[in-house]
Amino acid sequence: MTIRVVLADDQAVVRGGFRALLDLTDDLVAVAEAADGVQAVEAVRTTRPDVVLMDIRMPGIDGIEATRRIAADRSLDRVRVVMLTSYRVDSYVFEALRHGAAGFLLKDIEPDGLRAAIRDVAAGQGLLAPAVTRGVIEEFARLKAPEAAGAERLGVLTEREREVMALVAAGLSNEGIGRELIMSPLTAKTHVSHAMTKLGARDRAQLVVLAYETGLVRPGGR
């Protein structure tokens, strides 16, 4: 299966580098390019890609707002947005994850790492670079208190779903959750899916953000 990608970055040289890389990869293809957020949203609506590589900082509408618009469009539910940044710890990344991004990548990522990341997120395998992304979420979760109504919001979940959600926030894969709770990876995936549906989370990244925002887990621990 060919994975269709939209490249959104205000620097033509960056887009050209990514396109050249995709052109050399049999199962990846760039279907459109965009130089700002407005163009990115329009390109996504027109081409319906599997993955968007979205620069955070762009003129006009930035990558965060473009991601929010894409995530809010129910007809684009299958599109996964991966944020591109030059900074390992970036407050904008946290906001992007809150608004629907599936994860983020540093622009200096090695070619093989980029290819693997695109394939992973297209296959629905969840949070990209879990250790790094979790670190970003933790860093900025420290700056705000948990929601006062956090416990009430989590009331829609079963006890098992809360346990699974906490383990997702700890960076565990479905396989890791299965080992921790003595269940199959498929059962773990089902619990994750139920938690996302009940909480209105677009993907695992938003589930991690919600785990911190509601106080289910706290920075520095589960």
pLDDT in tens, 40-54: 999 999 999 999 999
- Which residue in the block uniquely carries the two structure tokens 């040289």? 13
Per-domain residue ranges of the chain: 3-139, 146-213
Q: Residue with structure tokens 């565990």? A: 172
Encode pLDDT of 145-164 as tens digits. 666 677 788 999 999 999 99
Three-state DSSP at 83 gives strand
- What is the mean predicted confidence (pLDDT) over 197-217? 86
User: Beta-strand (E) ranges in 9-165?
Assistant: 28-34, 51-55, 80-85, 103-106
Q: Evaluate if pTM is beyond 0.95.
A: no
Write down the mean pLDDT value for the chain: 87
Residues 90-131: tens digit of each pLDDT = 667 777 888 888 888 888 889 998 999 899 889 876 655 555
Residue 159 Cα distances to 178, 191, 207, angstroms: 16, 11, 16
pLDDT digits (tens, 9 = 90+) for 71-87: 999 899 899 999 888 76
> 3-139 in CATH: which number?
3.40.50.2300
Q: Which CATH number fits domain 146-213: 1.10.287.3510, 1.10.10.10, 1.20.120.610, 3.40.190.10?
A: 1.10.10.10
